[in-house]
């Protein structure tokens, strides 16, 4: 098992590395040339900047039984399709039972924004220590469950 992190602007990299180290699971951070990262624990792969370049590289690397950390529902859906587990930086697990609804909601929200000509939406609310704690607990639970049962279902 390996952990792949869609690390461009990902606020939970250090937390994920800490939890991964507890389980002795290797981590790979993927970023583009606009977000150069360094890590003492993880391997870092830097890809050329471009629409979805990091996403495609991550999906090309991940395999069955790996874990992907991403806020991108599309990346999560592709990871699930390859038999990997996926988790959002909020700590929400992406599963085969919820991904279709999440993708549909994203599609309908985008359609509504286009119809109302409101293409500029506010970004996410400021991340809190409680958000970090929720992610850490959820990620640790995910890894423990996979270690014991081999899956999250």
Q: List, for the chain, all residue ranges whose pLDDT scores fall below the cut of 70.
A: 106-107, 118-124, 151-153
Please name the residue ranges forming H helices in the chain.
13-23, 53-61, 73-81, 99-116, 129-149
What is the rounded distance in angstroms from the CA atom of residue 126 to the CA atom of residue 123?
Answer: 9
Pairing of strands 93-94, 3-6: unpaired
DSSP conformation class of 42: S
Element at 5 (helix H, strand E): strand 3-6
pLDDT in tens, 96-134: 888 878 778 766 777 777 777 766 666 667 889 999 999
In whole angstroms, give the CA distance from residue 27 to residue 62: 11
């Amino acid at each position: 098992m390996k952990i792949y992190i869609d690390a461009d602007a990902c606020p939970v990299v250090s937390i994920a590395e800490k939890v991964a180290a507890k389980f002795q699971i290797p981590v790979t951070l993927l970023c583009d040339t606009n977000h150069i990262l360094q890590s003492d624990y993880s391997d870092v792969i830097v890809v050329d900047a471009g629409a979805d370049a990091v996403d495609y590289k991550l999906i090309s690397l991940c395999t069955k039984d790996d874990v992907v950390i991403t806020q991108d529902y599309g990346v999560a859906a592709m990871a699930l399709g390859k038999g990997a587990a996926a988790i959002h930086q909020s700590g929400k697990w992406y599963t085969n039972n919820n991904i279709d609804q999440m993708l549909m909601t994203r599609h309908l929200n985008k359609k509504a924004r286009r119809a109302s000509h409101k293409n500029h939406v506010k970004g996410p609310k400021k991340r809190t220590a409680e958000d970090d704690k929720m992610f850490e607990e959820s990620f640790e639970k995910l890894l423990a469950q996979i270690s014991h049962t081999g899956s999250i279902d």
